[in-house]
Amino acid sequence: MDSIGDARVLVTGADGFIGSHLTHRLVAEGAEVHALTSEVSSVFPRRLVDLRGSIAIHEGNLMDRGAMDAVARAVKPAYVFHLAAYTHVGKSWQRVDECIQANIQGTVNLLQALADGGYRRFVNTGTSEIYGDIEVPFREDAVVNPISPYSVSKYAAERFCRLFQRAYGWPIVMVRPFNAYGPEQSPDRVIPEIIVRALRKEELAMTQARQTREFNYVDDLAEGFILAATTPGVEGEIFNIGGGEEISMRDVAMQILGIMGDPIEPRFGALPERPTEIMRMYCDSTKARERLGWAPRHSLSEGLGKTIEWYRRELEDPASPFVP
């Protein structure tokens, strides 16, 4: 197992949900972290503010090949974690061009900018949505059927990674993380929305919530990314990063509310179902467990408990972007 301590690391999407937790973990392990963000601002990224002075921030848009060339020359990373992307599944139907430009062209731009950089490992972030509406549990060797503009664009980016890895021998590993939750997640995602509405005793309107997912505490996913970067001999491989425990959205909502003492009653069926909804989604993570030595450290109840308490404290800050 390679050590990432003292290594120079580039994280794209470092100010995102998973990216920020990964960045904190890398700093804790002693890495020299360079964070790529797309927003040009004098304000330090909110999720990274406690790392001010511990990381270097680089501003640049993945869709700008010249900017990526400049970042690659400046950083010269040993490890690259590529998480930057357009990530909203539902809104991707109205933002197809952005999906193509950010997720496909952006990934290709970054890979080509780094082509002569001599990096040790490039970890590309796919998504569980790549699998689409095939039979569960999802395995890495399955024939996939992505069914949204977002998932199609992420699959295309992953295929470019595989193409370049096989053609040029670039040290690329691809991960497909499954649903994440935890502190500092955007408030429009399902678990934060349920928690915040319950804390405020607001109405909670949901679909029938019969669809199933698996949910992974974000720090556990970050560990999977690091193992994908540091485990020898896995170049060219795809890994599911997820615990593989299937649960319905209805049961997730009821479990959250139960932990909180049932402060509100959810209105199941009040919202329409999402078009092309994937009704069952969970993974077989045998490959990651056996090849990477990865396993989740948090049960769902443990992770939800930590997450609820974080949002409870955050609600005391009237300026918090996580509880608008």
Q: Report domain extents, the chain.
A: 8-179+217-243+284-298
- For the stretch 39-61, pLDDT in tens is 655 457 889 999 999 999 998 99
- For the stretch 246-272, pLDDT in tens is 999 999 999 999 999 999 999 999 999
Give the active site residue among 79, 131, 150, 217: 150
| Crossing angle of the two packed helices 300-314 and 190-200, in degrees rounded to 10 | 50
Core vs surface per residue 185-210: b (16+ CB within 10 A) or e? bebeebbbbbbbbbbeeeebebbebe
Q: Measured between alpha carbons, how far is 285 from 117 in angstroms, rounded to an integer?
A: 32
Q: Measured between alpha carbons, how far is 254 from 20 in angstroms, rounded to an integer?
A: 28
Taking CA atoms, 114 is separated from 156, 175, 246, 304, in Å, by: 19, 19, 38, 38
Model pTM score: 0.95
Centre a 10 Å sphere on the Cβ of residue 88 and count the other Cβ atoms it contains: 17
Q: Provide the 3-class DSSP secondary structure of residue 129.
A: helix
Sign of the CA dihedral running 11, 17, 20, 23: negative
Percentage of the chain lying above the pLDDT 90 cut: 86
CATH 3.40.50.720 fits 8-179+217-243+284-298, yes or no: yes
For position 273, what pLDDT does the model report?
Answer: 87
**In 38-191, where do the E strands start and end?**
56-59, 79-82, 121-125, 172-177, 180-181
- For the stretch 109-134, pLDDT in tens is 999 999 998 999 999 999 999 999 99
Mean pLDDT of 69-91: 92
Mean pLDDT of 170-176: 98
Q: Measured between alpha carbons, how far is 239 from 161 in angstroms, rounded to an integer?
A: 14
For position 87, what pLDDT does the model report?
Answer: 80
**Is residue 150 among the annotated active site residues?**
yes
Q: Which residue has the tokens 């049960």?
A: 299
